[in-house]
A and B are shown apart, each in its own frame.
Chain A
Amino acid sequence: MKLLELNHVVKSFGELSVLKDISLSVEEGEIVSIIGPSGSGKSTLLRCATMLETMDRGEVIYLGRKAAWTGENGRAVYAGKKELKEIRSQYGLVFQNFNLFPHYSVMKNITDAPLHVQKRDRETVFREARELLKKMGLEDKEDAYPYQLSGGQCQRVAIARALALNPKILFFDEPTSALDPELTGEVLKVIRSLADLHIAMVIVTHEMAFAKDISHRVIFMADGVIVEEGAPERVFSSDNERTQSFLGRYGTIL
């Protein structure tokens, strides 16, 4: 079954049309990168998929369950509160600027939602949280507060926080755009290491080498439409004019 299906998603902000009929789907365990110039609608697409943004029209389906669809009046209709809450538990999102809770320690940032939203057993939650921190290379930081960490460490905590809820699909919204090259490297290394967890990942990124290397599929977006999608080798060696003009510099530099 498809984990996520987006069908004919349309979104505009006032006069500005940001998403013009976008459809895409994500299979179990699949890693999909979304690339494209700034302002092409990548982040908005992610925000519509995670329901942080209300789309104008279209369908959002997680594991066959409809979260939103186009109603008879042509506007998007969202499922009921309870249904949405259950659907939301299927996915996680890592933000560009982390959005950690500054008043919670690293450990509490990771464990609070599993404990108080999912109401899972305390011992299991803490054990899993420690395993996650170890995986993130932060085992000595469980009592630290976000302000005491570097940007890269914060982003790794944010990834651990998202993973602690055991999502089936994890979205990344430009996870390294707020970081310098060195910190970017450490975060990308961590994301790469998640590949063998077999969680589906949808990554909006400007790190072309990373996207090419990690993805099963690359989607190139421009001006609110999907220009091209396919295996990374194919997209990166595409002869589509728009794709080439975006990736052109990338090709010549490397």
Chain B
Amino acid sequence: MTIQQMLVQLAEGMVITTQIFAVTLLVSLPLGLLVAFGRMSKNPVLRTVVKFYISIMRGTPLMLQLMVVYFGPYYLFGLRMGSGYRLWATFIGFSINYAAYFAEIYRSGIQSMPVGQYEAAQILGYGKGQTFFKIILPQVIKRILPSVTNEVITLVKDTSLAFTLSVAEMFSTAKALAAAQTNMIPLVAAGIFYYVFNLLVAFIMERVEKGLDYYR
């Protein structure tokens, strides 16, 4: 197999990796906000349930969670999922895991907001929704951006865990190629890919942070 052929196969894996990355972010960023609300809820039952969910997501390996999501339907409910479920299980596992981490980041940001902002909004007559989405959330986003960047960079590398479910993303492909061809090049190429991907993530997030520099 020529290097070109290897690279073509790797490129296919790269597409899947990018998919896992994009879907996870699109789902877990908004889902995390909902989870954060649950975590801060006045309802003690909801709060406890959400707290337990977060502690499981943070306290067990993502690799194990992926396996539970993939094999769970069969072992728990006897459901036979089609082979396409591999990728779906990956999306679900990553999304619920990252939502838990993002929820804690949102919570730290929301709770760090001075109470005066809420009071000013109340006096000016803003409703609860307006207060949150117009006054609080924009400031929270600015505050939590560095932590979010950290998490996003971790996600890029974590996508390689999808190999547990034999999803043909970048890392699984590179590993298979390296073994079959007894060649280091696929692994080196994969490494370069993750690194460049993260350079890009860091660059974009830096731009976003700069974009929010117009106020303090």
B199 within 8 A of A: no
> Are A101 and B135 closer than 8 Å at their CB atoms?
yes
- The interface residues of chain A lying within 8 Å CB-to-CB of B18 are none
Bound-state CA distance A92–B121 (Å) is 11
Bound-state CA distance A108–B138 (Å) is 14
Complex partner residue of A102 from B119, B134, B139, CB under 8 angstroms: B139
- The interface residues of chain A lying within 8 Å CB-to-CB of B116 are 95, 97, 99
CB of B113 to closest CB in A, whole Å: 11
The interface-forming segment of B74-82, B93-101, B123-131, B165-173 is: B123-131
Complex partner residue of A101 from B120, B123, B214, CB under 8 angstroms: B120
Question: Interface size class for chain B?
Answer: 10 to 19
B216 within 8 A of A: yes
A146 within 8 A of B: yes
A93 within 8 A of B: yes
Bound-state CA distance A89–B124 (Å) is 8
Residues A103 and B139 in contact in the complex (CB < 8 Å), given A112-B134, A117-B130, A145-B214: yes
Nearest B residue to A117 by beta-carbon distance?
A: B125
Count of A-B residue pairs with CB < 8 Å = 54
B122 within 8 A of A: yes
> Are B215 and A117 closer than 8 Å at their CB atoms?
no
- The interface residues of chain A lying within 8 Å CB-to-CB of B134 are 112, 116
> Are A52 and B123 closer than 8 Å at their CB atoms?
yes
Nearest B residue to A52 by beta-carbon distance?
A: B119
Nearest A residue to B216 by beta-carbon distance?
A: A147
Q: Which of A143-179 contact B (CB under 8 A)?
A: 145-147, 161-162, 165
CB of A149 to closest CB in B, whole Å: 11
> Are B216 and A117 closer than 8 Å at their CB atoms?
no
Residues A118 and B125 in contact in the complex (CB < 8 Å), given A95-B116, A97-B116, A102-B215: yes
> Are A50 and B214 closer than 8 Å at their CB atoms?
no
Bound-state CA distance A145–B117 (Å) is 16
> Are A95 and B119 closer than 8 Å at their CB atoms?
yes
- The interface residues of chain A lying within 8 Å CB-to-CB of B123 are 50, 52, 88, 92-93, 162
A61 within 8 A of B: no
Bound-state CA distance A11–B128 (Å) is 26
Interface of A is mostly: loop
Question: Interface size class for chain A?
Answer: 20 to 34
Residues A103 and B124 in contact in the complex (CB < 8 Å), given A52-B119, A95-B116, A97-B116: no
A85 within 8 A of B: yes
Nearest B residue to A171 by beta-carbon distance?
A: B123
Give the residue among B120, B130, B135 with the most A Cβ atoms within 10 A.
B120
- The interface residues of chain B lying within 8 Å CB-to-CB of A100 are 120
> Are A117 and B142 closer than 8 Å at their CB atoms?
no
A183 within 8 A of B: no
- The interface residues of chain A lying within 8 Å CB-to-CB of B122 are 52, 88
> Are A102 and B216 closer than 8 Å at their CB atoms?
yes
- The interface residues of chain A lying within 8 Å CB-to-CB of B126 are 113, 116-117
Q: Which of A40-56 contact B (CB under 8 A)?
A: 50, 52
> Are A101 and B125 closer than 8 Å at their CB atoms?
no
Give me 8 other A-B pairs in contact (C-beta within 8 A), A95-B116, A145-B214 excluded: A88-B123, A99-B114, A99-B116, A101-B117, A101-B120, A113-B125, A116-B134, A165-B125
List 30 A-B residue pairs with CB atoms under 8 Å apart, sorted by A's residue number. A50-B123, A52-B123, A85-B125, A88-B122, A88-B123, A88-B125, A89-B125, A92-B124, A93-B123, A95-B116, A99-B119, A99-B120, A101-B120, A101-B135, A102-B139, A102-B215, A102-B216, A103-B138, A103-B139, A103-B142, A113-B124, A117-B124, A118-B125, A145-B214, A145-B215, A146-B215, A147-B216, A162-B123, A165-B124, A165-B125
